[in-house]
């Protein structure tokens, strides 16, 4: 896997994102204590870091729909087991309504994804 780097500038902050010694690297050009991102910039940086992480782990560069598919598949596997366990537990309590069961499952899914 080749080492790769590219510069990113967001407002006053310059950084380099890349792969170094088999790890994802985020290097700032200047001493930086805090970085505040606009929401879209934060999503862009997070997507790039995730893309680099997949490249380090799998040796491939998922992008766009492939990255989204990989993330969905990971959450699907985790959530399927978790929801199955929750349903077994929640069904045992005959006093719970369908709405309460649904609410518990939705809350668990949202916590896992976000």
pLDDT at residue 100, as a whole number: 92
Compute the average pLDDT of residues 101-109. 90
pLDDT at residue 1, as a whole number: 42
Structural domain of residue 93, as residue ranges?
65-113
Give the chain's domain count. 2
Same domain assignment for residues 8 and 23: yes
- For 76, what's the count of Cα atoms within 13 Å in the CB-facing half-sphere? 6
Question: What pLDDT, in 10s, does the model give residues 11-53?
Answer: 777 888 888 888 999 888 878 788 888 888 888 888 888 888 8
**56 — pLDDT class (breaks 50, 70, 90):** confident
Mean confidence (pLDDT) of the chain = 82
**3-class DSSP assignment, residue 37:** coil
Same domain assignment for residues 41 and 8: yes
């Amino acid at each position: 896997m080749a080492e790769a780097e590219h510069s990113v500038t967001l407002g006053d902050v310059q950084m380099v994102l890349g792969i170094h010694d088999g790890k994802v690297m985020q290097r700032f050009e200047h001493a930086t204590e805090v970085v505040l991102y606009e929401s879209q910039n934060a999503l862009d940086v997070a997507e790039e870091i995730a893309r680099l992480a997949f490249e380090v782990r799998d040796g491939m560069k998922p992008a766009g729909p492939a990255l989204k598919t990989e993330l969905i598949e990971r959450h699907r596997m985790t959530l399927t087991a978790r929801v199955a366990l929750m349903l077994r537990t929640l069904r045992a309590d005959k006093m719970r309504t369908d709405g309460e069961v649904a609410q518990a499952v939705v809350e668990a899914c949202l916590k896992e994804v976000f």
